[in-house]
Amino acid sequence: MEELKLKADQREKSTKGFLHQLRRDGKIPAICYGKGNINVVVDRKDFEKVLLRAGQHIIIDLSISKDKSRPVLVKSYQIAPIQKTITHIDFLEVIKDKPIKAQVPIKLVGQAAGSKLGGVLEHKLHKLSVKAL
């Protein structure tokens, strides 16, 4: 599996006007939760490419300017209801000694024997909560 990388810049300001300006400039404000919460900003196009490849279930190598890279998961992201653009991202740093919880999608493979005979398969569980190191 390939290693996905994403560049981020640390941000100091977090006023409403400053965040709106970042979004107009094609950037997305984000926060990286972990050993120390860090406010960052990532490029919208770069994040959308990574999100299409990784989704929320693959570890991403987040390199923050003037800091070493951190392995992170996309914990959540917010989407503007009208523009359908991403407005904020929450990253969760993966720490080797600390277990994390993640939602893993369940994908059905093949066809059930009952479905082949005309039955209907009800797929009620779409995600599974997993806790691991």
Residue 27 has pLDDT above 90, yes or no: yes
* 77 vs 55, more confident: 77
Q: What is the pLDDT of residues 32-59, one digit of tens each?
A: 998 888 999 999 999 999 888 877 778 8
Domain that holds residue 56: 4-95
Cα gap 113→80, rounded to integer Å: 43
Give 60-73 as a DSSP string.
Answer: EEEEETTS-EEEEE
Contact call for residues 41 and 27 (beta carbons, < 8 A): yes
Q: What is the 3-state secondary structure (H, E, C) of 26-45?
A: CEEEEEEECCCCEEEEEEHH
Model pLDDT, residue 47? 92
For 90, residues 6+ apart whose C-beta sits below 8 A from its C-beta are 30, 31, 33, 74, 75, 76, 77
Q: What average pLDDT is seen over the chain? A: 87
Residue 130 lies in a domain: no
Residue 127 has pLDDT above 90, yes or no: no
Residue 14 lies in a domain: yes
Instruction: Give pTM, 2 decimals.
Output: 0.77
Residues in the chain: 133
Residue 102 lies in a domain: no
- Output the domain CATH number for residue 74: 2.40.240.10
Model pLDDT, residue 1? 52
Cα gap 41→11, rounded to integer Å: 6
